[in-house]
Amino acid sequence: MSFVSEGSSISRDTGRILSPITEHTRPPQDEEPAQKGKNHMYYCKYCPAWSAQNTSNFRQHIQSKHGIAIISQSRKVDDSSNTTLQSLYEKAMVINQTSELDAQILKRALNKEVITQAIVSLIVIKNLSFQIIKSPYFHALCKALNPTASNKILSSHSTIKEHVRKSWLFHKDLI
């Protein structure tokens, strides 16, 4: 993880570190040319005397010798929309700040109406007491599925009670 820095991300597919080429180059030293003919020289930051005259050779070296996949500029642009959230998330994960983000995402996954309907159906069809939604065991189950679910269910307790009453009147002939 020591190569991960600003601009790096971790590949979703391979788990490898992806980073821009400039993360791994060093400026030329002493007699070393910055350019050979028309070609820009890329010096490996990790090897004492390794250089390439084009980015694809440099990328290949960094990948095979140092196990780091370098994002090419064109791919970076293509993927940027897909990787933005991913890399933000991974950066946050590195510094242990994902819990707030996780909570936001988990909360957004909850649809109160759908949850209420599912609980009402369970209670009515299985002839359970609506008190089940106050049960710590029921809450443990909900939390296991989505840690932010519990609050949403508690807050809809009175709603569910009302729904169950109505639904029971509607369903009782069918059961």
β-strand partners of 17: 10
- Which residues, at least 6 apart from 122, have a Cβ–Cβ distance to it below 8 Å? 128
CB 71 within 8 A of CB 87: no
We find the least distance from the C-beta atom of residue 114 to Zn ion, in angstroms, to be 54
Pairing of strands 17-19, 69-70: parallel
C-beta closer to Zn ion: residue 46 or 170: 46
Return the range that interacts with Zn ion (CB under 5 A); candidates 36-44, 84-92, 98-106, 126-134.
Answer: 36-44
Residue 46 interacting with Zn ion (CB under 5 A) = yes
**Residue 170 makes contact with Zn ion by CB under 5 A:** no
CA distance 23 to 16: 15
Q: Is 63 in the site for Zn ion (CB under 5 A)?
A: no
C-beta of 62: minimal distance to Zn ion in Å? 7
Closest distance between Zn ion and the C-beta of residue 27, in Å?
Answer: 15
Size of the site for Zn ion (CB under 5 A): 5
- Please state, in angstroms and rounded to a whole number, the distance separating the CA atoms of residues 53 and 115: 60
- Candidates 59-67, 77-85, 116-124, 163-171: pick the segment binding Zn ion (CB under 5 A): 59-67
Q: CA–CA separation, 118 vs 107, rounded Å? A: 17
Are the beta carbons of 152 and 110 closer than 8 angstroms?
yes
Shortest distance, position 21 Cβ to Zn ion, whole Å: 13
Q: Does 44 bind Zn ion (CB under 5 A)?
A: yes
Backbone angles phi, psi at 148, to 5 degrees: -95, 0
Interface residue with Zn ion, options 47, 77, 85, 105 (CB under 5 A): 47
Which residues fall within 8 angstroms of residue 77, CB to CB, at 6 or more apart? none
Segment interacting with Zn ion (CB under 5 A) among 37-45, 77-85, 95-103, 119-127:
37-45
Residue 138 interacts with Zn ion (CB under 5 A): yes or no: no
Residue 168 interacts with Zn ion (CB under 5 A)?
A: no
Q: What tokens appear for 101 in the block?
A: 């983000």
Q: Which residues bind Zn ion (CB under 5 A)?
A: 44, 46-47, 50, 65
